[in-house]
Amino acid sequence: MRVCAVGLCGSDRHWYLEGSIGDATLTRPLVLGHEFSCSIETGRRAGERVAVDPAIPCGRCSSCRAGNRNLCVRTRFAGHGVTDGALRELVAWPAELLCPLPDSLSDAEGALLEPLGVALHALDLAHVRPGGTGAVCGCGPLGLLLVQLLRSLGTATIIATDVVPHRVAAAKSMGATHAIDTRAGSRSELGPAAAETGGVDVAFEVAGDDLAIEDAIALLRPGGRLVLLGIPMHDRSGFTASAARRKGLTIMMCRRMKGTDLPRAAALAERQFVRLGPLVSEQRKLDEAPAAFEFLAARRGLKTVVRP
């Protein structure tokens, strides 16, 4: 396949700045890039545009057989460990992991279907009910996709928080009813927002930051559900146990996406329940990748896309 577009995400930022993600560390040079769209060059599907599922599960372990391919311990994942990713011109990938890209979506939007698939999996874990209430703590591209999904479900109250002002503004424009800047000294709006609803039904932590977890716990109602998606530095997360315990919260960890989530994401984007284009704030050529990673590291804009 010829690679058309590659989105850079928070895990790429960890590889770039730290050389690791959690307990996974680099042992050899690694080509990054796991959010990507391609044009098939050879075979019976030549000429077809596709979005790519970056995870190649073993298909034989108990997790795979139970339908939880995202939990396969032998998964090979693009741009992770020793499996090179998509920041190159040509790539080979299993045909069964290629999702046809609707004509209405651009190549760059096709690259965003993978994080949309992750957002859908998180939504499933949260048991979101139409017309309920929710919070998203951390409004990078993945958090903003969750805001849009909650809005599309008719969520009555959507509280979005972030420490980066332009992300807070983006959350408001994409459907958050409350968009709160939680930089140091400016967290006073959390209490009134939680009081207004009696606490939200579900909360998503998408920042990889302990303060974001604390905010999510503060915003949840007793008996609520917290889904953790953020990847923390140094592979540790913490929170005040008494606050979560008194509320009897259910805490879930979100691991990538399931096999059916990529086609679901394509269908939702094609029908414009979720808008992907406004998330793309920077596009670079492959030889401009260093500048793209500096843009990513500084958290400027929203989604950076490289076009090989």
Is the whole-model pTM more than 0.85?
yes
**Exposure letters 240-262 (e unless 16+ CB within 10 A, then b):** eeeebeebebbebebbbbbbebb
How much is the average pLDDT of 208-234? 93
Q: Is the pLDDT of residue 187 over 80?
A: no
pLDDT of residue 26: 87
- Band of residue 196 on the pLDDT scale cut at 50, 70, 90: confident
Note the Cα 272 to chain centre separation in Å: 18
- On average, the pLDDT of the chain sits at 93
Place of tokens 């060059």: 41
pLDDT of residue 56: 95
At 250-282, the pLDDT tens digits run 999 999 999 899 999 999 999 999 999 999 999
Q: Is the pLDDT of residue 186 over 90?
A: no
Q: Is the pLDDT of residue 32 over 90?
A: yes
Low-confidence winner among 237-241, 246-250, 304-308 (lowest mean pLDDT): 237-241
pLDDT of residue 184: 62
Low-confidence winner among 64-73, 80-89, 183-192, 232-241 (lowest mean pLDDT): 183-192
| Closest CA relative to residue 112, chosen from 293, 288, 277 | 277
Low-confidence winner among 9-23, 59-73, 135-149 (lowest mean pLDDT): 9-23
Q: Are 113 and 130 in contact (CB under 8 A)?
A: no
How much is the average pLDDT of 106-133? 96
Most confident of 16-30, 54-68, 176-190: 54-68
Cα separation of 301 and 67, whole Å?
36
| Closest CA relative to residue 181, chosen from 166, 161, 157, 167 | 161
Domains and CATH numbers, the chain: 2-112+276-307 (3.90.180.10), 117-253 (3.40.50.720)
Q: Are 126 and 102 in contact (CB under 8 A)?
A: no
Residue type for position 116 = L
Sign of CA dihedral 71, 80, 116, 191: positive
pLDDT, greater one: 191 or 238: 238
Cα separation of 268 and 115, whole Å?
13
Q: Is the pLDDT of residue 114 over 80?
A: yes
- The CB density around residue 87, as the number of other CB atoms within 10 Å, is 24
In degrees rounded to 5, what are phi and psi of residue 111?
A: -70, -20
Q: Is the pLDDT of residue 185 over 60?
A: no
Q: Are 124 and 149 in contact (CB under 8 A)?
A: no
Three-state secondary structure along 212-265? Answer: HHHHHHHHEEEEEEEEECCCCHHHCCCCCHHHHHHCCCEEEECCCCCCCHHHHH
Q: In which element (H, E) is residue 49 found?
A: strand 49-52
Q: Is the pLDDT of residue 215 over 70?
A: yes
pLDDT of residue 24: 86
pLDDT of residue 232: 85
Q: Output the six-digit token pair for 133.
A: 């209430």
pLDDT, greater one: 130 or 197: 130
